[in-house]
C-alpha cells in the first residue's frame, strides 16, 4: 500500500533541521493549514452561496474588495492570533498592520505578512485563486507591542514563505529555507499530503506569462523581450508559449512546475509595478530561489535585497527559470 505523508508528519520529521526549534513555527503552520482548509471549503461553494462579488468596500489600493477577500482576511487573522506565536500581522487587505494585544501574543516571536486571497477578481468566473504568506522573526523585543519595523524587513530575512492554491485541487506549497515542498489537500480525509517533494524549477523553459494587453505601456527592454519570445528559432524552441491566468499564484505555480517566466513590469499605468513587495513579490522570490530560480525587480536588483519603505509598496517582478530571467535581464539592461 502507498505510504502517505501528511503535512503535520512532514513538519515534525523536519524539526531536527532547526536546532533552536521550539515548536512555535510548527504551531504557526497549523494555523495557516486550518485557515486554508476553511477557505478551501468556502471557495468550493462560492458559486452556491451568496459570497462572490464585491463587498462594497475598497481595499487600500482603491480596488473593490470581494466578499471572499474580507472573509479570507478575517479567517487567517483569527487563526494566526489564536496560538500566541504571532505578535501581529500585515495584510494586503488592511491599511495598517494589526497588533495582537493579548499577553500570549506579545510574547510571540513571529510576524506574518499575508495576501489572504490573491487574484480574487477571478472567483466569479471559477478560476484558481490563492493565499500568499510570509513569516519573519520580529525585531522588536518579545513582550512588547509589534512595531512597523517588524514588518519592514527585506525579503532575505524571511523565515518561511508559501502559498495555498485553490485550484482543481487545493495545494499548499512552502519553504522554510531548506527547499520547497508541495502538499495536496485530500478533502475526503481532511489532510494535506506530500505530493511534490523538493520542487525544483527547470533551469530553462518555454512559457512566458505577462498581461500583453498592456504592451504599449511597457518599457522598451520588456517589449523587445516579448518580441524575442515570439520569434521563430528551432534551436531555442521559440516561439515560446504565452500563458497568463491573471492570478499570480496560479501563474507562478504553473511556471514553477513546467519552467517559465512571469513578468509584471512597470508601465505608464503602474509606474512602480502593480504587485506588492511585501505580500506578493518577497514570498514568491523566496520560494523561487529555494527552487533554483531567480526573482528580480530590475537588472541586478534581487527582489529579496530590497529594503522596504512602506507596507503597501509596489514593485516590478520578473520571476522564474534562471536562464529565462537572465535573458530578460539582458534585454532590460540593453534597452531600458
Ligand atoms: P490582487 O492582489 O488585487 O488580486 O492583484 C494581484 C493580481 C495578481 O494575482 C495577478 O498576477 C495580477 O494582479 C494581474 O494583474 P492584471 O490584471 O493587471 O494583469
Ligand atoms: Mg494580491
Shared-domain flag, residues 161 and 305: no
Q: What is the pLDDT of residues 20-32, one digit of tens each?
A: 677 888 899 999 9
Predicted confidence (pLDDT) at residue 233 exceeds the cutoff of 60: yes
Which is higher by pLDDT, 312 or 22?
A: 312
Predicted confidence (pLDDT) at residue 65 exceeds the cutoff of 60: no
286 neighbors 304 (Cβ within 8 angstroms): yes
> Would you say residue 268 lies in a domain?
yes
Supply the pLDDT for residue 123. 80
* This prediction's pTM: 0.94
Choose among 200, 198, 209, 171: nearest CA to 187: 171
Q: Which of 196, 229, 259 corresponds to the end of one domain?
A: 196
Shared-domain flag, residues 256 and 124: no
Average pLDDT (140-157) is 97
Supply the pLDDT for residue 83. 87
Positive or negative, the Cα torsion across 278, 73, 124, 287? positive
> Would you say residue 202 lies in a domain?
no
Supply the pLDDT for residue 49. 61
> Would you say residue 67 lies in a domain?
yes
> Would you say residue 2 lies in a domain?
no
Predicted confidence (pLDDT) at residue 142 exceeds the cutoff of 70: yes
The Cα–Cα gap between 123 and 120 comes to: 5
Supply the pLDDT for residue 229. 98
How many whole angstroms from 311 Cα to the centroid of ligand 2? 13
The Cα–Cα gap between 14 and 317 comes to: 31
Average pLDDT (134-161) is 97
Predicted confidence (pLDDT) at residue 180 exceeds the cutoff of 80: yes
Q: For 52, how many CA atoms within 13 A lie in the half-sphere containing its CB?
A: 17
Average pLDDT (229-256) is 97
How many whole angstroms from 141 Cα to the centroid of ligand 2? 30
Shared-domain flag, residues 310 and 182: no
How many whole angstroms from 312 Cα to the centroid of ligand 1? 14
Supply the pLDDT for residue 120. 83
Shared-domain flag, residues 123 and 245: no
- Which range of residues forms the domain containing residue 61? 7-196
Q: What is the DSSP string of 129-169?
A: EEEEEEEEE-SSPTTS---HHHH---GGGEEEEEEEEESSS
Shared-domain flag, residues 153 and 242: no
> Would you say residue 201 lies in a domain?
no
114, 115, 274: residue to mutate for ligand 1 pocket, most atoms within 8 A of CB: 274
51 band by pLDDT with thresholds 50, 70 and 90: low
Choose among 18, 32, 27: nearest CA to 84: 27
Residues with CB under 6 A from ligand 1: 63, 92, 115, 118-120, 211, 246-248, 251, 274
Supply the pLDDT for residue 57. 63
The Cα–Cα gap between 77 and 284 comes to: 21
Average pLDDT (241-248) is 97
268 band by pLDDT with thresholds 50, 70 and 90: confident
**Three-class secondary structure of residue 297 per DSSP:** strand
How many whole angstroms from 22 Cα to the centroid of ligand 1? 37
The ligand 1 atom at the shortest distance from the C-alpha of residue 279 is 2
Shared-domain flag, residues 214 and 178: no
Residue 129's domain is classified under what CATH number?
3.30.540.10
How many whole angstroms from 275 Cα to the centroid of ligand 2? 7
Ligand 1 atom 5, closest CA: 119
Predicted confidence (pLDDT) at residue 172 exceeds the cutoff of 90: yes
Shared-domain flag, residues 166 and 255: no
Average pLDDT (156-172) is 97
Predicted confidence (pLDDT) at residue 156 exceeds the cutoff of 70: yes
173 neighbors 165 (Cβ within 8 angstroms): yes
Average pLDDT (137-165) is 97
Q: What is the pLDDT of residues 88-129, one digit of tens each?
A: 999 999 999 999 988 889 999 999 999 999 998 888 888 999
Percent of the chain topping pLDDT 70: 92
Ligand 1 atom 6, closest CA: 119
Predicted confidence (pLDDT) at residue 18 exceeds the cutoff of 80: no
Supply the pLDDT for residue 121. 81
Residue 254's domain is classified under what CATH number?
3.40.190.80
Shared-domain flag, residues 254 and 310: yes
Average pLDDT (35-57) is 77
Ligand 1 atom 16, closest CA: 246
Shared-domain flag, residues 191 and 211: no
Supply the pLDDT for residue 82. 93
247, 255, 269, 320: residue to mutate for ligand 1 pocket, most atoms within 8 A of CB: 247
Amino acid at each position: 500500500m502507498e505510504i502517505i505523508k501528511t503535512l503535520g508528519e512532514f513538519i515534525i520529521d523536519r524539526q531536527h533541521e532547526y536546532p533552536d526549534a521550539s515548536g512555535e513555527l510548527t504551531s504557526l503552520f497549523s494555523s495557516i493549514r486550518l485557515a486554508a482548509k476553511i477557505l478551501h471549503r468556502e471557495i468550493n461553494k462560492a458559486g452556491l452561496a451568496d459570497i462572490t462579488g464585491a463587498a462594497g468596500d475598497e481595499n487600500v489600493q482603491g480596488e473593490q474588495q470581494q466578499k471572499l477577500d474580507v472573509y479570507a482576511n478575517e479567517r487567517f487573522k483569527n487563526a494566526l492570533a489564536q496560538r500566541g506565536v504571532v505578535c501581529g500581522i500585515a495584510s494586503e487587505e488592511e491599511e495598517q498592520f494589526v497588533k495582537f494585544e493579548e499577553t500570549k501574543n506579545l510574547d510571540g516571536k513571529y510576524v506574518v505578512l499575508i495576501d489572504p486571497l490573491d487574484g480574487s477578481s477571478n472567483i466569479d468566473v471559477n478560476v484558481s485563486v490563492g493565499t500568499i504568506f510570509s513569516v519573519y522573526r520580529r525585531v522588536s523585543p518579545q513582550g512588547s507591542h509589534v512595531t512597523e519595523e517588524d514588518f519592514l524587513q527585506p525579503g532575505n530575512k524571511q523565515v518561511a514563505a508559501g502559498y495555498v492554491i485553490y485550484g482543481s485541487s487545493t495545494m499548499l506549497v512552502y519553504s522554510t529555507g531548506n527547499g520547497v515542498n508541495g502538499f495536496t489537500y485530500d478533502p475526503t480525509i481532511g489532510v494535506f499530503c506530500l505530493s511534490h517533494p523538493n520542487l525544483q524549477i527547470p533551469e530553462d523553459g518555454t512559457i512566458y506569462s505577462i498581461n500583453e494587453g498592456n504592451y504599449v505601456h511597457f518599457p522598451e527592454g520588456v517589449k523587445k523581450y516579448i518580441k524575442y519570445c515570439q520569434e521563430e528559432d528551432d534551436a531555442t524552441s521559440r516561439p515560446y508559449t504565452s500563458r497568463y491566468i491573471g492570478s499570480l499564484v496560479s501563474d507562478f505555480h504553473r511556471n514553477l512546475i513546467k519552467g517559465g517566466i512571469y513578468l509584471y513590469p512597470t508601465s505608464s499605468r503602474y509606474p512602480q509595478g502593480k504587485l506588492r513587495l511585501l505580500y506578493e513579490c518577497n514570498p514568491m522570490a523566496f520560494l523561487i530561489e529555494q527552487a533554483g530560480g531567480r526573482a528580480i525587480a530590475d537588472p541586478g536588483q534581487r527582489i529579496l535585497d530590497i529594503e522596504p519603505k512602506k507596507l503597501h509598496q509596489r514593485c516590478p517582478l520578473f520571476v522564474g527559470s534562471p536562464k529565462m530571467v537572465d535573458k530578460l535581464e539582458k534585454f532590460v539592461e540593453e534597452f531600458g
